[in-house]
Chains A and B, each alone.
Chain A
Amino acid sequence: MAITAGLALLFAGLLTRQAGVHAQAPGQNQLTVYSPQTSYSVPLLDVNGQPYAGLVELLEPLGSVDARIDGKKYKLHFTPPGGRPLEVQFAGGKDKGKVRGNGYKLPANFVLQNGRGYVPLSVTSEIISRLLGSDAQLHPAARRLFIGNVQARYTLELHKDNPSRLLLGFSSPVNPSIATEPGRVRLTFRREPIVSSGPENVPYSDPLISGVTFSEHDGLAELDVTGTAPLMANFADGGKTIIVTGAPAPAPVAQEAPPAAPAPANPQNPSPQPRQPAGPRFLVLIDPAHGGNDIGAAITPSLPEKDVVLALARRVQRDLVNRGIAAGLLRNSDVAITLDQRAIWTNATRPALYIALHAANTGQGVHVFTAMLPAANLSPQGFLPWDTAQAAFLDLSGSVAGSVAAELESRKLPNATLLAPLRPMNNIAAPAIAVEIAPPAGNVDEIASAAYQEQVAQSIAAGVAAVRAKLPEVRP
């Protein structure tokens, strides 16, 4: 038995080696795309040591995509917003194809895997340029792709106060993650198209700030500020300015602390400008369920639920934004997020509305769910138990569900509104609904069709817009 298993493994290994295709672990190898409308991540596939990007994943956030395999040919129709369908055509294992009807030669063979088409990373910018008619610039080593003139540059201003302050200026508000180490502050920009403004290394002859280094890699940009003493960063000017200065000296601690610590290099307390308090805002947070190893339901053997709902989520986001409603995605790539993490991130974001999206291959039409919880007399502003946080928002959630169902009805889409014991909805401290789409008329393949998904997305967006006045704006 061991011998046969070994032979089978050997044979499988030979086949895999010949094909030369294997998937990277999620999150390790991604391309970040910045467009004027949105920024998103596209997982990359390693084929014989060369990175490849999926055409559907690359183009879907930029317009409607309908991809099909016709015999040995892979045909994709991309429709930019307000435009007409444009065809991209390739064949697996061949390097010649067509983009918008014109012949196009890839630097390496087109790859078809599990019903998806992949092109070498190096041609992504050119294909997008041809389809959108606008410039696209790829930073291949950094895995970053800029569409149009989205690049954002920063300014550096060193104020030699006591202590010194380094002002990093941006043309629009930014929200980097900030990591501090002794003598160092690292700002990581994942969503902002920040690019270098000049020399990547700017040294300073200053007693506190030693220099700033810009780098970009793995689909993100980093600004690394180094100093001679502990540093801290603060936001100012509504997020358009980040001020890096000396961190305050640690406060003396209780009786067990050692006697007075030596004075820091800059003994005076810095006086960074406080972060401007943000006003109330109306944000819809969309949660495409599953992701990564958690594929959800297998809609068909080659179509997992996680992909269907991500495509739908991007459509819903686009349709909400078109209606003037700010909308964010809890995941915008194929990453695994636990149910508890989804609830934690949602509650930390404080959205006005949370929408979870699911898909199934059983049943028909669209089901809109609210949480199955007993009504409770809880104040949304007060302390909320984790397991039943949603109970305080059931009335508002029900209003949204009813409004979305009415919009589905008006578009003649079969629908039902139900209660469901669905995680993590019970833990969401905001009005929340879940939407599960099933094939429109028993035809499973139709669930991923652009026309069906767009009808559902329009219904959700219209339903939300109709009850927007009822939903309170939230102060982040």
Chain B
Amino acid sequence: MTRRVLLMFAVLALIALGLTFYALHLKRKVARDEQLAAEQQRALAPLTNGPPTPVTLYIASDSDGTLRRTQVNVTLPPERTERARAVLRALFGEYLQSSSSHPIGAGADVRDVYLLGDDTAVVDTNAAFGDAHPSGVLAEELTVASIVVTLNANDSKIGRVKILINGQERETLAGHADLRRFYEASNIGQVVKDLQ
């Protein structure tokens, strides 16, 4: 074998070794991400103990572009903002199921809900909600509408809702739905009628 062939084999071996290391690194990373997603999924479990209470959820469906009203039992904390958060986490829990007809980004969660005065709720979602939400006018509208009407259905005093991503205002959810504005439940109500 000539020196040139040997050199070529050495380079190829080095590249193969590098790719092996890189493949192992990717495998570990995927495992870590899956574990994190599972932990975040688990994090959507109820925050408190107590008897389950029926709550109303408006659940979106991408296949027919509708919102469906349904009831589930959720353990609700006594404090109003915590209750609102628990209701939204129940809604997100529905969307995070693998069988969901309106999937949202894996790991999406509600970080907090704040009340401004008596009637305005500010919903702070995590980065995964905004970064991995499917893009589309209708898909994003369904998510926003379901959040607003679900909050209003379970706390009728909440008439205005603002959505933040990771504590920050964003221009749009995933390129379409306006997140700079406050949403009026009364306006969304008309949309929901159209979507039902």
Which residues of A pack against B, CB within 8 Å?
1, 3-5, 7-8, 10-11, 289-290, 294, 296-298, 305, 339, 358, 360-364, 367, 369, 372-374, 387, 416-423, 426, 434, 436, 438
Contact = CB atoms under 8 A, between A and B. Distances in A.
Contacts of B135: 296-298, 305, 360
B175 A367 contact: no
B62 A362 contact: yes
Nearest to B188: A372
A420 B136 contact: no
Contacts of B172: 339, 423
A8 B141 contact: no
B10 to A, nearest CB: 14
A387 B181 contact: yes
A416 B65 contact: yes
Interface centre among B64, B135, B177, B191 (most CB of A within 10 A): B135
Given A1-B25, A4-B18, A419 B137 contact: no
A10 B21 CA distance: 14
B131 interface: no
Contacts of A372: 187-188, 191
B194 A418 contact: yes
A419 B138 CA distance: 10
A290 B15 contact: no
Interface of B: 14-15, 17-19, 21-22, 25, 62-65, 134-139, 141, 144, 171-172, 174-178, 180-181, 183-184, 187-188, 190-191, 194-195
Contacts of B144: 421
B18 to A, nearest CB: 3
B176 A422 contact: yes
B37 to A, nearest CB: 20
A8 B24 CA distance: 12
Contacts of B139: 360, 362-363
Given A418-B195, A422-B178, A362 B18 contact: no
Closest 10 CB pairs of A and B: A7-B18, A360-B136, A4-B21, A297-B135, A362-B62, A8-B22, A436-B137, A421-B178, A423-B178, A4-B22
B184 to A, nearest CB: 7
B136 A374 contact: no
A423 B18 contact: no
B138 A367 contact: yes
B183 A421 contact: yes
A110 B112 CA distance: 54
Nearest to B173: A421
Contacts of A289: 175
Nearest to B103: A362
Contacts of A420: 137-138, 141, 176-177
B48 to A, nearest CB: 33
Contact of A358 (B64, B137, B183): B137
Nearest to A362: B62
Nearest to B17: A7
15 contacts: A1-B25, A3-B18, A4-B25, A5-B22, A358-B176, A362-B136, A362-B138, A367-B138, A387-B181, A418-B138, A419-B194, A421-B183, A422-B177, A423-B176, A436-B137
Contacts of A434: 137
A364 B137 CA distance: 13
Contacts of A416: 65, 194
B65 to A, nearest CB: 5
